[in-house]
């Protein structure tokens, strides 16, 4: 017996739409399941069970536990049935519903395998020790540590990603990775392109936190299978899967600004092969506040409606499929409010901001596993999206539409043994974008076809190498190549891991969508073209990333600990420069002529201090500079120094969870303002500041499900950037600028919420 405890442009070719409606599976770097097997003797003591064999049912994928009882096993989409064989026990099989989290299997003593307890154990994030790429997986436990209302807020408790406000009027947050803004990381959704084009502006807020099953974060050059655009790394978001998610999940959230959210996830399994899921999100913020008394709304009001319908077909004669559709409507209103300003004393109209986004998408991922060829499969990804955006920032108007079709085919197999694997494939991207900003109008239609090959070599789990190359034919840039290389060497029974990586990347700069925050200013946009035949008249951004990683597992006071050191450099061979220093009334945009780089060094330490009490600390140093027309200068809004500490504790009965995070952000260089009148000048550097957040969660059983109540605080020290808006008293003057944000806009924010899960 097994007891399992789970502790437009609107003109697109009709044939493109028809092909996208076909059933279509992503095939990317192999995922892994990690676990530990122990046994309980007659004296109730627990000890590790080394040498136990673990394998997936009816597959050759197998491994055995080490001296401490731990194992790592590559997952397969063919089955979730895990077979355990151990000396002195009868083999048994159990179903693993969540392969993203560490599992603990406990054998009861006796000749027969009378009971296996499966308990998921996680500190919220897991580091990969076997993959040549340094991959960190953030699971639902990590996302539940803070008020992760959307993807942009999901990294508050992670030391590798910086989260900052984009400007002082939109309430939007943006991320930085390896000292560069988020657009240089390849952000995908279920391993298909997501943050591209218009999505670069507000796209991180379009994925609700409750929809996320896990986030895979990798630094440095990514895999050629996923494309050519990864400069600083890849952030992949896996959404709740109808195959493994809860039957019903309800989440409600309310903060002191009266922002409230309701999220409902529903899953239904029709039979052993076919299941469906519906994800629904609705958020509202109706109360406008002005805590810094500058007459501007600190957090915009508005609503978001977000729906996604997913379907999954698994294990049907080797055929796998996922397909679905999604719709989003997001509106935001901000700027000045009549109740905070005397409109009778002036005829100047109020400065208002409006942001409207509407998007719909369809997708399909299909795959076929060849049962007569071990570890051989092929997969096809297809997607289509249509995105319309209409924004107003005072007198500035920005309207845009985007239609994108994407296809990616991957074939994977082995050369004699699983120590030699390879992937071959081809991709196609059709991306049409039209934009108008005031009197300027731009359009581009990118058509990119590419082929790729990736070879992976494994030597006794001690040495791994992944070498990839892709060639793409671009209708604007012609033929270009993207090489990538990842190396891993393990020592000390896999407890010490050294990694090295390198690779090239290319992307088309989205001049407007990447810099929407600058529209909330009176700056004139000056684009200095270099080739009128290219998008915006600018050359593409190209560069190289090189990285080293050292990771060490250890025991401190008999408890698990780790230390990891990252050294990465991003070196641009060409870049689109956004220059705000040349003239305080202008933003100059031009191609790089000189060096541009970002060097990052980070050391991180994690330790289970006491049972169920985990600490995670990190320090990061960033040296990021760019050559402007005036010379080499530090990149603005980048902290050279940053420190981080997170404490997480869970009571023995798992009813109470406590999480607290402290971030120290060093000073940042600010754009030049010394030519402004004294009142409208800002310092050359921002001050350093602390940001503290925490949450308490209570878990209990109710209505046959898990019921969670949580309460927390953001910005507990109530630190606010003083005067975040330059010339807030004269919003239509040439000095007005709401984009110079380096710290929190609003102060302490309390929130409460509840979650209900029915498995």
State the CATH number of the domain containing residue 108.
Answer: 2.60.40.1120
How far apart are the C-alpha atoms of 251 and 757, rounded to whole Å?
9
According to DSSP, the β-strands at 631-634 and 641-650 are unpaired
Over residues 57-62, mean pLDDT: 72
pLDDT, mean over the chain: 87
Check pLDDT > 50 for residue 643.
yes
pLDDT given for residue 23 in this prediction: 35
With a pLDDT cut of 90, the percent of the chain lying above it is 65
Other beta carbons within 10 Å of 375: 18
Same domain assignment for residues 522 and 617? yes
pLDDT in tens, 583-612: 999 999 999 999 999 999 999 999 999 989
Same domain assignment for residues 419 and 549? yes
According to DSSP, the β-strands at 641-650 and 613-628 are antiparallel
- Domain annotation covers residue 22: no
pLDDT given for residue 44 in this prediction: 45
Check pLDDT > 50 for residue 758.
yes
What band does 68 get if pLDDT is binned at 50, 70 and 90? low
pLDDT given for residue 41 in this prediction: 54
Same domain assignment for residues 120 and 184? no
Residues 67, 70, 74, 80, CA torsion sign:
positive
Same domain assignment for residues 121 and 199? no
What band does 102 get if pLDDT is binned at 50, 70 and 90? low
Does residue 203 sit in helix, strand or coil?
helix
Over residues 122-141, mean pLDDT: 79
Least confident of 79-93, 185-199, 488-502, 624-638: 79-93
Q: Which two tokens stand for residue 538?
A: 């600018």
Beta-bridged to residue 501, according to DSSP, are 486, 547
- Domain annotation covers residue 513: yes
CB 722 within 8 A of CB 744: no
How many independent structural domains does the chain possess? 2
CB 446 within 8 A of CB 402: no
- Domain annotation covers residue 15: no
Instruction: Report residue 312 CA to chain centroid gap.
Output: 23
Same domain assignment for residues 163 and 86? no
Check pLDDT > 80 for residue 6.
no
- Among 20, 226, 22, 5, residue whose Cα is nearest residue 118: 5
- Domain annotation covers residue 686: yes
Q: Which of 98, 126, 154 is the last residue of a domain?
A: 126
pLDDT given for residue 567 in this prediction: 97
pLDDT in tens, 438-459: 999 999 999 999 999 999 999 9
Same domain assignment for residues 255 and 346? yes
Check pLDDT > 90 for residue 347.
no
How far apart are the C-alpha atoms of 60 and 58, rounded to whole Å?
7
What band does 89 get if pLDDT is binned at 50, 70 and 90? low
Check pLDDT > 80 for residue 671.
yes
Q: Is residue 17 within a helix (H) or strand (E), and if so which, with residue range? A: helix 14-20
Q: Which two tokens stand for residue 152?
A: 């942009």
Q: Which of 95, 126, 157 is the last residue of a domain?
A: 126
- Domain annotation covers residue 329: yes
**Domain extent at residue 586:** 131-758
What band does 47 get if pLDDT is binned at 50, 70 and 90? low
Residues 463, 184, 204, 179, CA torsion sign:
positive
- Among 264, 259, 235, residue whose Cα is nearest residue 248: 264
How far apart are the C-alpha atoms of 180 and 380, rounded to whole Å?
32
Over residues 199-222, mean pLDDT: 91
Write down the number of H helices and E strands in the chain.
Answer: 3, 44
Over residues 19-37, mean pLDDT: 51
- Domain annotation covers residue 726: yes
Same domain assignment for residues 114 and 163? no
Q: Which of 110, 126, 142 is the last residue of a domain?
A: 126
- Domain annotation covers residue 115: yes
Same domain assignment for residues 643 and 593? yes
CATH number at residue 324: 2.40.170.20
- Domain annotation covers residue 101: yes
Over residues 92-117, mean pLDDT: 61
Check pLDDT > 80 for residue 398.
yes
What band does 328 get if pLDDT is binned at 50, 70 and 90? very high
Same domain assignment for residues 113 and 138? no
Same domain assignment for residues 226 and 99? no
- Among 91, 92, 86, 88, residue whose Cα is nearest residue 71: 86
Q: Is 532 exposed, middle or buried (0-12, 13-18, 19+ CB in 10 A)?
A: exposed
pLDDT given for residue 67 in this prediction: 58
- Among 637, 544, 627, residue whose Cα is nearest residue 591: 627
Place of tokens 């960033």: 622
Over residues 25-32, mean pLDDT: 45
Same domain assignment for residues 106 and 157? no
Same domain assignment for residues 498 and 619? yes
């Amino acid at each position: 017996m097994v007891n399992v405890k789970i502790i437009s442009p609107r003109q697109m070719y009709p044939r493109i739409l028809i092909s996208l409606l076909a059933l279509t599976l992503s095939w990317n770097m192999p995922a892994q399941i990690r676990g530990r097997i122990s046994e309980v003797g007659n004296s109730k003591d627990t000890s590790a069970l080394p040498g136990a064999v673990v394998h997936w049912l009816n597959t050759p994928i197998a491994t055995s536990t080490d001296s401490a009882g731990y194992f790592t096993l590559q997952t397969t989409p063919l089955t979730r049935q895990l077979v355990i064989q151990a000396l002195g026990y009868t083999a048994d099989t159990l179903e693993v519903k969540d392969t993203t989290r560490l599992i603990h299997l406990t054998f009861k003593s006796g000749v027969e395998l009378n009971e296996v307890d499966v308990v998921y154990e996680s500190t919220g994030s897991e580091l990969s020790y076997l993959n040549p790429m340094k991959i960190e997986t953030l699971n639902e436990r990590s996302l539940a540590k803070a008020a992760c209302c959307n993807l942009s807020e999901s990294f508050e408790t992670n030391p590798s990603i910086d989260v900052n406000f984009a400007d002082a009027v939109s309430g939007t947050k943006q991320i930085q990775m390896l000292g560069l803004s988020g657009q240089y990381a390849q952000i995908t959704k279920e391993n298909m392109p997501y943050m591209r084009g218009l999505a670069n502006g507000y796209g991180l807020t379009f994925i609700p936190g409750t929809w996320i099953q896990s986030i895979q974060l990798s630094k440095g050059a990514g895999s050629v299978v996923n494309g050519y655009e990864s400069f600083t790394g890849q952030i992949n978001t896996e959404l709740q899967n109808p195959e493994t998610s809860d039957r019903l999940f309800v989440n409600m959230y309310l903060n002191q600004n009266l922002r409230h959210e309701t999220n409902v996830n529903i899953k239904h399994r029709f039979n052993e092969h076919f299941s469906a899921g519906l994800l629904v999100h609705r958020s509202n913020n109706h109360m406008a506040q002005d805590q810094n008394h500058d007459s501007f709304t600190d957090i915009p009001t508005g609503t978001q409606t977000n729906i996604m319908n997913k379907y999954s077909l698994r294990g049907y004669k080797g055929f796998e499929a996922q397909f679905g559709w999604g719709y989003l409507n997001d509106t935001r209103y901000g700027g000045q409010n009549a109740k905070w300003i005397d409109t009778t004393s002036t005829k100047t109209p109020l400065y208002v901001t409006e942001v409207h986004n509407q998007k719909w998408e369809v997708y399909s991922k299909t795959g076929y596993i060849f049962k007569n060829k071990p570890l051989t499969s092929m997969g096809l990804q297809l997607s289509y999206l249509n995105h319309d955006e209409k924004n107003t920032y005072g007198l500035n108007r920005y309207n845009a539409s985007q239609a994108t079709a994407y296809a990616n085919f991957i074939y994977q197999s082995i050369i004699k043994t699983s120590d030699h694997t390879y992937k071959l494939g081809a991709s196609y991207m059709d991306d049409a974008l039209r934009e108008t900003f005031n009197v300027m109008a731009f359009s581009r239609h990118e058509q990119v076809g590419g082929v790729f090959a990736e070879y992976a070599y494994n030597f006794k789990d001690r040495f791994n190498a992944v070498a990839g190359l892709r060639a793409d034919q671009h209708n604007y840039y012609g033929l270009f190549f993207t090489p990538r290389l990842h190396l891993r060497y393990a020592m000390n029974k896999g407890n010490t891991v050294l990694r090295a990586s390198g690779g090239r990347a290319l992307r088309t700069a989205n001049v407007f969508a990447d810099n929407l925050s600058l529209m909330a200013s009176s700056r004139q946009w000056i684009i200095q073209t270099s080739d009128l035949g290219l998008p915006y008249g600018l050359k593409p951004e190209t560069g190289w990333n090189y990285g080293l990683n050292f990771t060490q597992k250890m025991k401190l006071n008999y408890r698990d600990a780790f230390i990891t050191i990252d050294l990465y450099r991003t070196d641009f061979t060409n870049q689109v420069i956004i220059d705000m220093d040349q003239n305080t009334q202008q933003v100059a945009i031009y191609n790089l002529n000189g060096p541009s780089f970002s060097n990052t060094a980070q050391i991180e330490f994690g330790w289970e201090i006491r049972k169920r009490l985990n600490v995670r600390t990190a320090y990061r140093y960033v040296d990021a500079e760019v050559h402007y027309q005036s010379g080499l200068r530090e990149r603005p809004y980048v902290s050279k120094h940053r420190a981080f500490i997170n404490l997480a504790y869970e009571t023995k009965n798992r009813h109470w969870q406590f999480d607290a995070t402290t971030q120290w952000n060093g000073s940042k260089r600010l754009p030049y303002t010394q030519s402004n009148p004294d009142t409208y000048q800002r310092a050359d550097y921002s001050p350093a500041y602390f940001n503290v957040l925490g949450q308490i969660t209570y878990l209990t059983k109710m209505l046959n499900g898990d019921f969670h109540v949580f309460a927390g605080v953001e910005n507990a020290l109530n630190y606010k950037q003083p005067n975040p808006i330059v010339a807030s008293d004269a919003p239509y003057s040439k000095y007005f600028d709401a984009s110079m944000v380096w710290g929190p806009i609003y102060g302490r924010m309390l929130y409460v919420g509840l979650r209900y899960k029915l498995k």
